[in-house]
Chain A
Amino acid sequence: MSRKWADRALLALFIGMAVLLYLSTASYPGIARTTSARYVRFLAVFIGALSALQLGYSLLKDRSAGRLSLTDHLPRFLGLLAALAAFAVLFERFGFFLVAGVFIPLVAWLLGYRRKSVILLVTLGVLLFVWLVFVQLLNVNLPGPTF
């Protein structure tokens, strides 16, 4: 997708959101109708008007043809995202240490680092640091098995 059209789609989304936001204030109860609802309407009008202005400017003046690129290396980018999502899902069930113990070497490998001894040392170092500082010193309650 081109950057220009992605931006226009986002601005259209903001305008739609502004309209819905404005309409939603009709259901505000009691005192909120003359207080919070007015504030929300102010925000809705403000963001809607600014988005419409920017969209108009883009439609009239923007002749750029660049593509929207979130990353230079899609597999690594998506790999990190997937690993992160898996970390978040498994984190509560299996605990920080077990999941981080797999996550750190896996992502380092995924990003192209191949020195196994360094990866192992860094992983163990981070886990030891978290255990000493956060568990022992700061008493942060981490989910999962405790040591």
Chain B
Amino acid sequence: MLEYLQIVFGFQSLVTIFIGTVAGVAIGGMPGLTATMAVGLLVPFTYTMDPTAGLMLLGGIYCGAMYGGSIPAILLNTPGTPAAVATAIEGYPMSRQGRGGLALKVSVIASFCGGTFSAFVLLLFAPFLARQALAFGPAETFLLALMGLAGIVSIADENTSLIKTLIAGVLGMVIAIIGTDDMSGSLRYTMGYVELVDGINFMPALIGLFSMIQMLELAGQRHHKIDTTALKRRQKSEPLPAGIARPIALGAGTGTVIGILPGEGATIAAFISYNISKRMSKMKELFGNGNPEGIAAAEAGNNGCVGGSLVPTITLGIPGNSVAAALMGAFIIHGMIPGPDLFTDYAAHTYPFILSLFVANAVFLVVGLVFAPYLARIALVPPALMVPVVSAFAVLGSYALNGSVFDVYLMIAFALGGLVLKKLGYSLEALILGLILGPIAEGGFTQGMIIGHGSPLVFFESTIAKVMWGLIALLLLPPLHAYWKHVHKPSRLSAGQ
């Protein structure tokens, strides 16, 4: 471990982590730009970098962006990222009361605690979980992908129905079958395009769905003037309120656990942490009017998601959320396939990457405590300037990995198609997870069928398979139950009338 610490604390590594984290805070602070967008956009560029440095840069961006979203949420009522919406509910009223300084302090300390705790969980459990993956055969690998699909079900929210979320996930898996069939070596659904022989490239799809789509939306939006009165108001300096450690601990734990579940993102983690904290608080009446406990729980929750989401990503190859999916792309382009090998053959890259997350958390703690009020002005960058710059990087990023203009067209097609799907209520997170899980599921399924001589019973035989079926059921039941209740609510009402 000492040698890995030496790598992390080397001058070049520290500079890389610092640049990544500060850039992440700035990106997170710009409404419309998200951690997924930034990480997805930069993954192709890390291809020519030293793998450890590239991963540290992306890890820094992930940590920084998750925190950065809270700054404009608190001072301008404009969440930099969707994960900071819960923070705005409590943070902005505090700023209007002249207590923005305290809100920013609580936010950065809670983010630091949540992020550090989750990185610790990642460091502790990831190698253990990865070792368990050694016992996985093709049948278990297929079930693992099904577990990821079960996670897709829980992505469904008020904007995306459960069935549509599942359709989007399966559509991603269908898109993933384009290319060469591993079993027969024949081409499938390539429509004569040589560029599709190896299948749909994951990175242009990710950049199209999570970066370019946001730019298309921003370009077509009518922009509202941001209220900067709280930014101009003098904010008083206050000590941390007593009892703030409780919501922080609650948020950190909740966020980490939610992050580990496939498909669950930082936004859900922040809202669940916020709601639990509200339910358990002795000052419930202050929620909605500027309660620092709400900020603490939400920020510890969304930053707790960072390390948590990386646990299934680097151990099992099942991304915890869309940012983790983009980071998984970075591992893959450097030839590091998620699983036990990352902790043996590639330990010299993986452990410094995990340790760099602790440094990234410390960097944004210092940056946040000193510069947060000034960083809020980033949110005032006009979208008219942001859109062309990010679009140019999206084109560059799509092209850079394979040097193929076809990938740029693919990125534009995914952005346009993704926008239509999004407007019709289909989950893009589910689509990208399906795209990632597709090849894993197909590999496990086809090999399992060969081992089982064509009998599907092979997927139920081993003890691990049985446990995994249980876990899949556990993942599926709560959202299905909630959906059932939601669908039958109006009919019960009308029956009552």
Nearest CB in chain A: distance from B399 CB, A: 7
Interface residue? B327 (CB, 8 A) = no
Interface residue? B332 (CB, 8 A) = no
Total residue contacts A-B, CB cutoff 8 A: 181
Are B220 and A32 touching (Cβ within 8 A)? no
CA distance A95 to B424 in the complex (A): 37
Are B220 and A72 touching (Cβ within 8 A)? yes
Instruction: Tell whether A80 pairs with B392 under 8 Å between CB atoms, given A36-B182, A108-B385.
Output: no
CA distance A81 to B420 in the complex (A): 14
For the side of the interface on A, what is the size category?
Answer: 35 or more
Report how many residues on chain B are interfacial, defined by Cβ distance under 8 Å: 62
Are A77 and B220 touching (Cβ within 8 A)? yes
Interface 1/0 per residue, A122-145 and B, CB below 8 Å? 100010001001100011111100
Are B49 and A74 touching (Cβ within 8 A)? no
Nearest CB in chain B: distance from A36 CB, A: 5
Nearest CB in chain B: distance from A89 CB, A: 8
Are A80 and B384 touching (Cβ within 8 A)? no
A50's contact among B167, B384, B412, by CB below 8 Å, is which? B167
> Which residues of B171-204 are within 8 A (CB) of A?
171, 173-174, 177, 181-184, 186, 188-189
* Residues of the B chain whose Cβ atoms lie less than 8 Å from the Cβ of A116: none
CA distance A143 to B400 in the complex (A): 10
Nearest CB in chain B: distance from A2 CB, A: 11
Interface 1/0 per residue, B331-367 and A, CB below 8 Å? 0000000000000000000000000000000000000
Q: Interface of chain A, helix or strand or loop or mixed?
A: helix
Interface residue? B94 (CB, 8 A) = no
> Which residues of B358-402 are within 8 A (CB) of A?
382-385, 387-389, 391-392, 395-396, 399-400
Nearest B residue to A100 by beta-carbon distance? B392
CA distance A119 to B168 in the complex (A): 39
Are A72 and B221 touching (Cβ within 8 A)? yes
Interface residue? B222 (CB, 8 A) = yes
* Residues of the B chain whose Cβ atoms lie less than 8 Å from the Cβ of A53: 163
Are A7 and B424 touching (Cβ within 8 A)? yes
Are B388 and A68 touching (Cβ within 8 A)? no
B423's contact among A42, A51, A68, A73, by CB below 8 Å, is which? A68
Are A80 and B396 touching (Cβ within 8 A)? no
Are A36 and B424 touching (Cβ within 8 A)? no
Nearest A residue to B398 by beta-carbon distance? A88
Interface residue? B216 (CB, 8 A) = yes
> Which residues of A79-128 are within 8 A (CB) of B?
79-81, 83-85, 87-88, 91-92, 96, 100, 103-108, 111-113, 118-119, 122, 126
A43's contact among B177, B215, B449, by CB below 8 Å, is which? B177
* Residues of the A chain whose Cβ atoms lie less than 8 Å from the Cβ of B275: none
CA distance A54 to B162 in the complex (A): 10
Are B399 and A36 touching (Cβ within 8 A)? no
CA distance A130 to B425 in the complex (A): 36
Interface residue? A12 (CB, 8 A) = no
Are B163 and A31 touching (Cβ within 8 A)? no
Instruction: Tell whether A122 pairs with B412 under 8 Å between CB atoms, given A39-B446, A140-B45, A140-B48.
Output: no
Are A130 and B446 touching (Cβ within 8 A)? no
A122's contact among B389, B405, B419, by CB below 8 Å, is which? B389
Interface 1/0 per residue, B211-228 and A, CB below 8 Å? 010011101111000000
> Which residues of B447-462 are within 8 A (CB) of A?
447, 449-450, 454
Instruction: Tell whether A31 pairs with B184 under 8 Å between CB atoms, given A47-B174, A51-B167, A122-B385.
Output: yes
CA distance A68 to B212 in the complex (A): 20
Nearest B residue to A45 by beta-carbon distance? B170
Nearest CB in chain B: distance from A6 CB, A: 6
Nearest CB in chain B: distance from A83 CB, A: 8
Q: Which 8 A/B pairs are nearest by Cβ-Cβ distance?
A: A71-B220, A107-B388, A113-B384, A111-B384, A77-B220, A35-B446, A32-B184, A32-B183
With A7-B425, A36-B446, A53-B163 given, name 14 new contacts (CB 8 A). Answer: A42-B445, A51-B167, A54-B167, A70-B420, A76-B219, A81-B412, A88-B395, A88-B408, A100-B396, A103-B391, A108-B384, A122-B389, A133-B45, A138-B45
Provide 5 A-B residue pairs closer than 8 Å at the C-beta atoms, listed in order of the A residue. A24-B189, A47-B167, A47-B171, A91-B399, A140-B400
